[in-house]
Structure 1
Amino acid sequence: MTAASKHTRLNGRFTVNLSILFSELPLLERPAAAAAAGFTAAELWWPFGENPTPSQAELDELRKAFTDAGVQLTGLNFLDDLTKGARGTVSVPAEKDRFRENIAVTAGLAESLGTKALNALYGNRVDGVDPAEQDALALENLVLAAKAAHEIGAVLLIEALNKPESPDYPLVTAAAAVEVVDKVNAATGLGNAKFLCDLYHLAMNGEDLAAVIDTHADKFGHVQIADNPGRNEPGTGGLDFEDLFTRLTAAGYQGRIGLEYRPAKGVSADSFEWLPREHRAAN
């Protein structure tokens, strides 16, 4: 499949997620590996595990890995604790202090690397906690995150995940995520909260991807892709990326497209045949 080669307007728009791709390598080696594969832009989930406030030395090492490789960090998650299956910390009462401690750290790292998109995963529902209480806390935290993002000229991303893989995550439709986006923007007046449209997650939920693009493209702050089923590279599943890319362009989406998939054969460098090398370097 060479969908990208048929749509030259996508040239320079791709960013590779180094938390899922090149994960066969230590984190600090991944930016150089991405560069060797032809990419000049990358994104990360929160790279320090459960630690919301890594040391200055750890932050400096990560910055150096990106700057030495000549790779721009285009997107970064706030504290997400994905290793525990938590799917974010924004709405979780027990994580309130840790999330808020992390806001300045994430924004500071992003600012130092020119990162303009910060993703705040909503967090799972917690047994014994009123969902309304969680939603109120989430709004408070997202307002703080949006303001911190605004101070560095960045957008705050709100993402829908898929129900089969994240059964306790409440935002499992595009409409649910966009509703949160609108609430944050109404609360801050900044307009910098945006929808992270992950086409894989929405496909897993059975959503009509064409309808999502046509309805919500004006709220998109970022798009991520993986084929479905399998969460592997385009061409390994049933999604029509040629059509999806065409629709994104027609809808006026001009942002980046994050490659957030697992390599089907287990080797990241071998998973980019669908994307001609001349399309990998970011503008």
Structure 2
Amino acid sequence: MILHNGLRLDANLKWLFTELPFEERFDAAAAAGFTAVEYASPYPFPAATLTRRLADAGLSQILINSPTGEPGSPERLGHACLPGRTAEFRAGVELGLEYAVALGSSFLHLPAGIRPDDVSRDRAFAQYVANVAWAAERARGTGVRLLLEAQNKQDAPGFVLDDQAHAAAVADAIGEDHVSLLFDVYHASIDEKDVLAALREFLPRTAHVQIADSPGRAEPGTGIVPWPDVFVTLESEGYEGWIGCEYGPAAGTEAGLSWVKEQIR
């Protein structure tokens, strides 16, 4: 969905059009005006099936995540910071890159993970940095950029990245040729004192943006985030990437899309 002011919205099919089976969401997104999609986990489906769905609907794939553990498990937000789980992390990156290349996905997000209670913060963080550095080297030449995302501590207690600055420090240490930030406005609105100031500060390192309102994680306009200012900031700062709609519609996906005209000047 390309807007009049140059901002580009893509549909996150994990969150939007959930009224339909997953494989039918591609056509629904295209019918609603989206030209690109993202979703965390393509892995339940053969890559060829998803590639065909994308082509039939005329959609581009923007982002997928590397594999994580099952919902409710200690690994639900990734293996990257878990000592002793390097083999699983690397296998997940290999699979993620395989799918990303097959789908033409621009980005592979590496979920950082939750630090186990019996592992020190420093040890978990060191493991995370080492794993991201390995993944960056492995991704060289694939055309896929790796993304790092800070998640808020209300929803993800123990998440190994403290905030946007923490994620940016990792990206800077590894090198901008390989790794960029995923700036999630929902998470930042909870953890950062000033979400607009954080957006302006870290946008130069950001390759992808995701949006949802806070509290509630529904569509923009349902919470307290100053959305018109967010979009003005993205435009004025020259952001040219995609904006992933990663929210749970309050009352149905298509009805909820009215926010676009209401919140973007």
Following TM superposition, the consecutive aligned residue runs of length 4 or more in structure 1 with deviations greater than 3 angstroms are none
Counterpart of 2:121, as a letter, is: P
Counterpart of 1:269, as a letter, is: E
For the residue of structure 2 that corresponds to 1:151, the secondary structure is coil
Q: Which residue of 1 aligns with 2:249?
A: 263
Work out the CA distance in 1 between the residues paired with 2:59 and 2:192: 35
Query: Deviation per CA, 1:173-223, whole angstroms, max 9, x where unpaired?
Result: 1111111212222xxxx6221111101111122431121122121111111
Q: Which residue of 2 aligns with 1:75?
A: 63
Taking the TM superposition and a 5 Å limit, the aligned residue runs for 1:37-48 are 37-48=32-43
**Alignment size in residue pairs:** 259
Unaligned runs of 5+ in 2: none
Greater Cα offset, 108-117 or 255-264: 108-117
**Are the structure 2 counterparts of residues 146 and 215 from structure 1 closer, same or farther at C-alpha, using a change threshold of 3 Å?**
same
Query: Deviation per CA, 1:21-71, whole angstroms, max 9, x where unpaired?
Result: 1233322222122112111101111233xxxxx6xx722222222222221
CA contact (8 A) 1:76 1:110 kept: yes
**Are the structure 2 counterparts of residues 82 and 162 from structure 1 closer, same or farther at C-alpha, using a change threshold of 3 Å?**
farther
For the residue of structure 2 that corresponds to 1:9, the secondary structure is coil
Work out the CA distance in 1 between the residues paired with 2:81 and 2:18: 28
- Deviation of 1:150 after TM superposition, in Å, equals 3.2
Which of 9, 17, 21 aligns to 2:6? It is 9
CA contact (8 A) 1:80 1:120 kept: no
Counterpart of 1:274, as a letter, is: W
CA contact (8 A) 1:17 1:44 kept: yes
Work out the CA distance in 1 between the residues paired with 2:258 and 2:117: 44
- Deviation of 1:236 after TM superposition, in Å, equals 1.1
After superposition, the CA RMSD in angstroms is 2.1
Q: Which has the higher contact order (CA 8 A, sep 6+)?
A: 1
The question of 1:221 aligning with 2:211 is answered: no
Q: Which residue of 1 aligns with 2:156?
A: 166
CA contact (8 A) 1:213 1:251 kept: no
Work out the CA distance in 1 between the residues paired with 2:108 and 2:125: 20
| TM-score of the pair, normalised by structure 2 | 0.90
Work out the CA distance in 2 between the residues paired with 1:222 and 1:148: 21
- Deviation of 1:154 after TM superposition, in Å, equals 2.2
| TM-score of the pair, normalised by structure 1 | 0.84
- Deviation of 1:76 after TM superposition, in Å, equals 0.8
Percent of pairs identical after alignment? 36
Unaligned runs of 5+ in 1: 49-53
For the residue of structure 2 that corresponds to 1:14, the secondary structure is strand
